[in-house]
């Protein structure tokens, strides 16, 4: 479908980011109740029990009922909390997650410009030049919400949960950002739209050129590192130690009730959606179709389909794996994922260097200086 640039007085190119705002907000905020329902049903299926089946057909209205209940619940403010930080913490969890979602492109629209040229315009709220770094910056802020919730509650369990969680999140952030770097290497861009566009096309007309299949399996290793790190980043099972109910009551949100709790809950699902969205865009080709003959399906359906696949993996993993012990968690992050990510990164760099013998503009000058400056560099050291 090709849309003309001017529909009446409206310039479509300028309007697209604002349409994207509505799409992303509606998607995240409306989908969260649906996700909760899907999760409960799927986990029940895997664990061979009934799951929600009372409210509405097949329990479909269950999470809406939960939401309404939380809305009308009394808001208990414990006596010893630090009020300002206590109310700020849930906001700090959800806003970075939402804001990071703004940088993920989820589809593409073809627009016929006034000049007659048909141009593909990405559907994204902010097509930021440094997209990936921007998202990393925002997700690195999420740690505050958790650690401050734990601290402000003035509850020992909460504080332990908050500290655990923040230590876990920062540990896996390293592996995550190094894995993302591998993707940046393969596409040679930080802009997520460029990254997705780079993944168009097929080998032998059938295997998609997604980053996960690139670089002789190195892309797949980086993808696996990213997927593990993203599960840990969102504090989901089997990395859900911060809210390990058998030891810490409910972890950092023990003292949170009513809507404040609901916002924590929404924040968890929003950040799940965001990291899955990054995985989709960075490794699995974003809106690019799986096979060339399926290209008639619109891009946003592909994107949402891939996104939901990751959500399903999340749920599946949660229903299958037991929780890790804390020392095992830290040693997985620091002793396995981090060195592995570094090695993969350098292998990707080496392969890329050997693959591209001819260099772009200015290489001649750079080459000329190479020998001389290496001598200078050595003598300086």
Partner 1 sequence: MGRGLAILNWSLIGFWIMAIISVCSAVLMIANRNPVRSALFLVLGFMMQALLYLSMSAQFIAAVQIIVYAGAIMVLFLFVIMLLNIGSPEALRERGGLQAPAAIVLAIVFLLLLAGVGALGGSQINHLMNPSVIPNYGTVDAIGKTIFDPSKPWLFPFEATSILLLIGVVGAITLAKRRL
Partner 2 sequence: MQSYVPFVMFTAIGFAFIFVTLLMARFVRPSAPNPNKQETYECGPVPVGDAWNQFNIHYYLFALLFVVFDVEAAFLYPWAMAFRMFGLYAVVEMIIFVALLGVGLVYAWRREALEWE
Binding site for partner 1 (CB under 8 A): 82, 84-85, 88, 129-130, 133-134, 136-138, 140-141, 143-144, 147-148, 151, 159, 163, 166, 170, 173, 190, 365-366, 369-370, 372-374, 376-377, 380-381
11 binds partner 2 (CB under 8 A): no
Positions 58 through 77 that interact with partner 2 (CB under 8 A): 71-77
Cβ distance to partner 2 smaller for residue 43 or 347 = 347
Shortest CA distance to 279 belongs to which of 210, 361, 209, 349? Answer: 210
For 268, counting Cβ atoms within 10 Å of its Cβ (0-12 exposed, 13-18 middle, 19+ buried), the class is: buried
Cβ distance to partner 1 smaller for residue 159 or 272 = 159
Enumerate the β-bridge partners of residue 3: 111
Cβ distance to partner 2 smaller for residue 58 or 188 = 188
Q: Report how far residue 367's alpha carbon sits from residue 356's, in angstroms, rounded to the nearest whole number.
A: 15
Tell me, rounded to whole angstroms, the distance of Cα 258 from its chain centroid: 27
258 binds partner 2 (CB under 8 A): yes
90 binds partner 2 (CB under 8 A): yes
352 binds partner 2 (CB under 8 A): yes
Say which entry of partner 2, partner 1, none residue 201 contacts (CB below 5 to 8 A, set by partner kind): none
Cβ distance to partner 1 smaller for residue 36 or 180 = 180
Cβ distance to partner 1 smaller for residue 111 or 230 = 230
Please report the sign of the dihedral spanned by the C-alpha atoms of residue 167, residue 172, residue 178, residue 181: negative
263 binds partner 2 (CB under 8 A): yes
What residues contact 218, with CB distance under 8 A and at least 6 apart? Answer: 182, 344, 347, 348, 351
Instruction: Tell the smallest beta-carbon distance from residue 240 to partner 2 (Å).
Output: 17
Residue whose structure tokens are 């630090």: 82
Helices (H), ranges, the chain: 12-46, 62-72, 83-101, 131-140, 142-152, 156-187, 192-198, 218-233, 245-248, 258-283, 299-320, 326-331, 338-355, 363-380
Binding test (CB under 8 A) with partner 2, winner from 170, 224, 312, 340: 170
Q: Report how far residue 189's alpha carbon sits from residue 218's, in angstroms, rounded to the nearest whole number.
A: 18
Say which entry of partner 2, partner 1, none residue 85 contacts (CB below 5 to 8 A, set by partner kind): partner 1
Cβ distance to partner 2 smaller for residue 102 or 290 = 102
């Amino acid at each position: 479908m090709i849309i003309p640039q001017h529909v009446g007085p409206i310039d479509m190119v300028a309007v697209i980011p604002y349409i994207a705002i509505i799409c992303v907000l509606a998607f995240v905020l409306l989908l969260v109740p649906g996700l909760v329902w899907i999760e409960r049903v799927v986990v029940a299926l895997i664990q061979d029990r009934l799951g929600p089946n009372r409210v509405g057909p097949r329990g479909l209205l269950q999470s809406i009922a939960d939401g309404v209940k939380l809305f009308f619940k009394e808001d208990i403010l414990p006596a010893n909390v630090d009020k300002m930080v206590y109310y700020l913490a849930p906001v700090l969890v959800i806003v970075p997650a939402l804001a990071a979602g703004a940088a993920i492109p989820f589809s593409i629209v073809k627009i016929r410009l006034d000049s007659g040229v048909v141009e593909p315009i990405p559907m994204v709220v902010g097509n930021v030049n440094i997209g990936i770094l921007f998202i990393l910056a925002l997700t690195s802020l999420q740690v505050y919400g958790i650690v401050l919730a734990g601290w402000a509650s003035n509850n020992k369990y909460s504080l332990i949960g908050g500290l655990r969680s923040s230590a876990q999140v920062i540990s896996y952030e390293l592996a995550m950002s190094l894995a993302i770097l591998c993707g940046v290497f393969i596409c040679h861009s930080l802009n997520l739209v460029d990254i997705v566009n780079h993944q168009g096309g097929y080998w032998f007309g059938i295997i998609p050129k997604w980053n996960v299949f690139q670089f002789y399996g190195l892309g797949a290793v980086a993808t696996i590192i990213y997927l593990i790190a993203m599960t840990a980043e969102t504090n989901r099972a089997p990395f859900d130690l911060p809210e390990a109910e058998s030891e810490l009551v409910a972890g950092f949100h023990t003292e949170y009730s009513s809507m404040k709790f609901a916002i924590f809950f929404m924040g968890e699902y929003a950040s799940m959606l965001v990291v899955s969205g990054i995985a989709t865009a960075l490794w699995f080709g974003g809106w690019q179709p799986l096979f060339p003959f399926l290209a008639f399906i619109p891009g946003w359906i592909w994107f949402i389909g891939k996104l939901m696949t990751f959500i399903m993996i999340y749920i599946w993993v949660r229903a299958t794996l037991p929780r890790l012990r804390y020392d095992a968690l830290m040693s997985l992050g620091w002793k396995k994922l981090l060195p592995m990510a570094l090695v993969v990164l350098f292998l990707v760099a080496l392969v890329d260097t050997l693959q591209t013998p001819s260099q772009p503009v200015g290489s001649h000058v750079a080459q000329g200086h190479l020998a001389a400056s290496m001598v200078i560099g050595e003598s300086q050291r």
